[in-house]
Amino acid sequence: MVQDLLDFFPTDEREDEQVQPRIRLDEYPADLIGRILANESSHQLVEMAHIDGHGYPLITVMGFALIDGKVTLGSRRNGVKLERLREEPRCSMNYHNRRSREQLACLTLVGRAKVVDDEGLIRRFNEILTCKTLPDDSPDIGRRPEMNRAMDAARRVAIVLDDVDALYIQAPPAPGHKIGTPSRVISWRAGRAQHGSSQHPRPSAD
């Protein structure tokens, strides 16, 4: 994945290593995001931030799967966050790795979520999350059926990041990057054309 990023983005050739210029993308890099979050290679956790009932941002660590190109979470039916998201769907989701020369540091998706009560979708989510939590090389792989049955029995609902309005990538260090200096942030925002750039369509559910 790091090599994908190095191939995808311009080489870091800053004259002043203390300055952190942002790379602003003209288009949403859907293929790249799909590779970063692919169920076969990503770990199972994201941090979701939404606004609580008192107006504060609240961060929750949740299991996720990528289904039909969308970040999908599972939640208890009585989760307080569900009502908050129905009232105010704007949220952000952060996928984080250890920052190293071999791994992406983090990816933040900013957008709007919807709560979906769909048994088929939840079963797909449960199966994917079970495989991510107990991968093929796990010593506990034999517990997959038990975990999957328990998740199905919980009768949860899904939280789907239905629209992405912006993204931020904290890039891994480029080759030769001086230790202790900031690496670049790569960003994209829908509708930047209103401020002078070309128009970019927002990634959608379709």
Whether the Cβ atoms of residue 85 and residue 91 lie closer than 8 Å to each other: yes
**pLDDT mean over 5-33:** 73
Among 96-100, 135-139, 146-150, the least confident range:
96-100
pTM above 0.85, yes or no: no
Mean local confidence (pLDDT), 153-164: 95
CATH (one of 2.40.30.10, 1.10.260.40, 2.30.110.10, 3.40.190.10) for 2-195: 2.30.110.10
Residue 198 clears pLDDT 60, i.e. is over it: no
Residue 48 predicted with pLDDT over 80 = yes
Rounded to 5°, the CA angle 82-131-111 comes to 35
149 band by pLDDT with thresholds 50, 70 and 90: very high
Is the per-residue pLDDT at 3 higher than 90? no
* Residue positions counted in the chain: 206
pLDDT for residue 197 is more than 60: no
d(CA 11, CA 37): 23
Q: How far does the chain reach from its first CA to its final CA, in angstroms?
A: 26
Task: Give me the torsion for CA of 88, 152, 61, 29, rounded to 10°.
Answer: -70
Q: Where are the domains of the chain?
A: 2-195
pLDDT above 80 (res 62): yes
Mean pLDDT over residues 74-103, rounded? 86
Q: Does residue 7 carry a pLDDT above 90?
A: no
Full DSSP string of 30-45: HHHHHHHT-TTTS-SE
Q: Which of 80-89, 148-157, 188-197 has the lowest mean pLDDT?
A: 188-197
pLDDT attached to residue 12: 62
Residues 109-144 have pLDDT tens digits of: 999 999 999 999 999 999 999 999 999 999 999 999
In degrees, rounded to 5, the angle at the alpha carbon of residue 152 between the alpha carbons of residues 148 and 155 is 150
